[in-house]
């Protein structure tokens, strides 16, 4: 996990260890504090959008926001200071997220009404992943990604089939139900077909005619049933990835697929 950096200053080395790594007590404490800070600041942004809360605690929330911003700015500065190639860090995905976490507050001084800028601060929630990235969860996430990547073609076929289904079934419903029952256009009917196929079912648009309800019933049963397909795909792929990762080959007979805690080959008994 440790990036091979040339270390020159003991202070920078120490800071790098605390900020970027998590195998020292100080590093762990830093990570926990950072996650708490991120979650608090996200919660503050969310609460600020509730009118009744803004009326009452608006000033307090704005003060808190500035405190968070200053802390994140200091952190961003320290990160820039203690990595070997600051530019590369600044241009990386998480470097951008770190910058976007502080910029909107500063810009809001110049452009007071910019509601959109404030929402960008919610991207801070992504920073949680940068912290997790440094610890043991990375491994698990990468297994999941591998399984999803290995099944991306099957998933593409599946998604295309679903899209074709909703376009064709949605426009059929447009012909059957018509604008009088809320199916005012094909895009809206396709939207309804997606709401139904994914079993969300808002009920803001619902078929009224008998033929429409019969077709809707068919869409529901299809939607209910084909969820089995992506589930099957991911399960099979995940089980294969797990087996591959955990298996070293036996030096005696070449067999693979040994459990991670195996000390001897289960087929020929040679030591692994």
Site for its own copies in 53-112 (CB under 8 A): none
Residue 180 is encoded by which pair of tokens? 């009088």
208: which 2 tokens? Answer: 């009224």
Q: Does 150 contact its own copies by CB under 8 A? A: no
Q: Does 255 bind its own copies (CB under 8 A)?
A: yes
Site for its own copies in 218-237 (CB under 8 A): 220-221, 223-225, 227-237
Distance of CA 202 to the CA centre of its chain: 25
- For its own copies, the binding residue among 14, 123, 134, 181 (CB under 8 A) is 123
Distance CA 269, CA 211 (A): 66
User: Which of the stretches 56-64, 65-73, 99-107, 137-145 binds its own copies when contact is defined by CB under 8 A?
Assistant: 137-145
Tokens of 176: 């059957």
Using the rule CB under 8 A, give the single segment among 1-9, 63-71, 92-100, 263-271 that binds its own copies. 263-271
The answer to the question of residue 113 lying near its own copies (CB under 8 A) is no
Examine residue 248 and tell whether it contacts its own copies (CB under 8 A). Answer: no
Q: For 101-204, where are the alpha helices, taking DSSP H only?
A: 103-110, 115-120, 127-133, 137-150, 152-177, 186-197
Whichever of 15 and 38 has its CB closer to its own copies, that residue is 38
Residue 99: CB minimum distance to its own copies, A:
17
Q: Which stretch binds its own copies (CB under 8 A): 12-20, 65-73, 106-114, 239-247?
A: 239-247
**Best CA proximity match to 34, nearest among 47, 51, 21, 50:** 21
Q: Based on CB atoms, which residue is closest to its own copies, 86 or 269?
A: 269
SS (H, E, C) 204-264: CCCCCCHHHHHHHHHHHHHHHHHCHHHHHHHHHHHHHHHHHHHCCCCCCCCCCCCCCCCCE
| One of 11, 109, 110, 136 touching its own copies (CB under 8 A) | 136
In angstroms, give the least distance from the CB of 6 to its own copies: 32
């Amino acid at each position: 996990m440790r990036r091979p950096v040339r270390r020159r200053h003991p202070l920078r080395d120490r800071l790098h260890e605390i900020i970027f790594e998590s195998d020292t007590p100080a590093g762990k404490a830093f990570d926990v504090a950072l996650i708490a800070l991120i979650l608090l600041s996200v919660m503050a942004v969310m609460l600020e959008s509730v009118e009744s809360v803004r009326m009452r605690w608006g000033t307090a929330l704005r003060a808190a926001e500035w405190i968070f911003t200053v802390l994140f700015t200091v952190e961003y500065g320290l990160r820039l200071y203690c990595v070997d190639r600051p530019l590369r860090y600044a241009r990386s995905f998480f470097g951008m997220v770190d910058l976007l976490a502080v910029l909107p507050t500063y810009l809001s001084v110049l452009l007071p009404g910019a509601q959109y800028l404030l929402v960008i601060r919610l991207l801070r929630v992504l920073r949680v992943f940068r912290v997790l990235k440094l610890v043991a969860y990375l491994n698990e996430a990468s297994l999941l990604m591998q399984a999803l990547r290995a099944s991306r073609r099957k998933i593409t076929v599946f998604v295309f089939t679903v899209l074709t289904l909703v376009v064709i079934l949605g426009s059929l419903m447009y012909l059957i139900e018509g604008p009088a029952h809320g199916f005012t256009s094909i895009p809206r009917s396709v939207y309804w077909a997606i709401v139904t196929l994914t079993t969300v079912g808002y009920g803001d648009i619902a078929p009224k005619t008998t033929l429409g309800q019969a077709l809707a019933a068919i869409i529901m049963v299809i939607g209910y049933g084909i969820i089995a397909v992506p589930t099957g795909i991911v399960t099979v792929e995940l089980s294969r990835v797990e087996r591959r990762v955990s298996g070293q080959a036996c030096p005696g007979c070449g067999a693979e697929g040994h459990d991670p805690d195996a000390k001897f080959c289960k087929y020929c008994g040679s030591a692994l």
